Amino acid sequence: MTMLNGNIQVVHQRLKAACTQAARPAQSVQLLAVSKTRGADEVRLAHAAGLRAFGENYVQEGLDKIAALADLRADLEWHLIGPLQSNKTRVVAEGFDWVHSVDRLKTAERLSAQRPVGLAPLQVCLQVNISAEDSKSGVDPAEVPALARAVAALPRLRLRGLMAIPAPAEGLQAQREPHRALRELLERLRAEGLALDTLSMGMSDDLEAAVLEGATIVRIGTAIFGHRAPKAAG
């Protein structure tokens, strides 16, 4: 067994244990492999090990991998999880299956207008700045309901739910708090009539807390691929 296969097996075991603790079926959580800075060859190996959903932070890097793995396109699901500039919306609308990082109506409107008619609707999540960090992208929680209603009304998109990258915290209970806040926000939107089913939250260090609070997609990079090599000087 390769290190990659072993890592994937460990992550699946962690997810299964967390789902058991949360009294949830294991299949209720999708594993999204965060493949930023990883080569197309590593994604191909991860796919061979059973993964099919991959998350990219950088638009051009993601597009290059999508092109390099065109032979697997029908069996791969590509998610943009990093910031999206308005001048990149067309290539994202044409190339990706999901966008987790919508935080402005203008961005959503451009994605909607530029999504090719021949493709399935683009699946989108609103990114919420759940920990109120100045350094993080995302919508203020108070502004989410109005944005959600506007995005849900756009053609060629399907608003699926919410995404967040909480501030790091020590200990399970502290980690659960921001994930709980995101879940409660999603529940409020559903109570207002929006048909949402997705909570994209939880990473390598806090996936258990996220699953306990209802995550449906966990974004795992380091625990699958290992730590990224430091960039060479110069």
**Is 233 a domain residue?**
no
The predicted structure's pLDDT at residue 135: 80
**Is 115 a domain residue?**
yes
**Is 230 a domain residue?**
no
Q: Are 134 and 171 in contact (CB under 8 A)?
A: no
pLDDT in tens, 67-119: 999 999 999 999 999 999 989 999 999 999 999 999 999 999 999 999 999 99
Residue 107 CB partners (closer than 8 Å, separation 6+): 84, 86, 89
Instruction: Report d(CA 127, CA 182) in Å as an integer.
Output: 10
Instruction: Report d(CA 137, CA 82) in Å as an integer.
Output: 9
**Is 181 a domain residue?**
yes
Whether pLDDT at 232 is above 60: no
What are the two backbone dihedrals, phi and then psi, of residue 217, each rounded to the nearest 5 degrees? -135, 125
Please give the average per-residue pLDDT across 51-77, as a whole number: 98
Written in H, E and C, the secondary structure of the chain is CCHHHHHHHHHHHHHHHHHHHCCCCHHHCEEEEECCCCCHHHHHHHHHCCCCEEEECCHHHHHHHHHHCHHHHHHCEEEECCCCCHHHHHHHHHHCCEEEEECCHHHHHHHHHHCCCCCCCEEEEEEECCCCCCCCCCECHHHHHHHHHHHHCCCCEEEEEEECCCCCCCCHHHHHHHHHHHHHHHHHHHHCCCCCCEEECCCCCCHHHHHHCCCCEEEECHHHHCCCCCCCCC
**Is 199 a domain residue?**
yes
User: Confidence band (pLDDT; 50, 70, 90) for 234?
Assistant: very low
**Is 234 a domain residue?**
no
For residue 162, give its domain range: 3-225
pLDDT in tens, 2-38: 999 999 999 999 999 999 999 999 999 999 999 999 9
| Structure-token match 């506007």, residue found | 150
**Is 27 a domain residue?**
yes
Pairing of strands 53-56, 98-102: unpaired
Domain of residue 138, CATH code: 3.20.20.10
Whether pLDDT at 231 is above 60: no
The predicted structure's pLDDT at residue 203: 97
Please give the average per-residue pLDDT across 179-204, as a whole number: 98
- Cβ burial of 127 (10 Å; 0-12, 13-18, 19+) is buried
Q: Are 68 and 56 in contact (CB under 8 A)?
A: no
**Domain total of the chain:** 1
User: Confidence band (pLDDT; 50, 70, 90) for 230?
Assistant: low
- What the block records as the tokens of 5 is 């296969």
pLDDT in tens, 142-174: 999 999 999 999 999 999 999 999 999 999 999
Quote the percentage of the chain above a pLDDT of 90: 93
**Is 50 a domain residue?**
yes
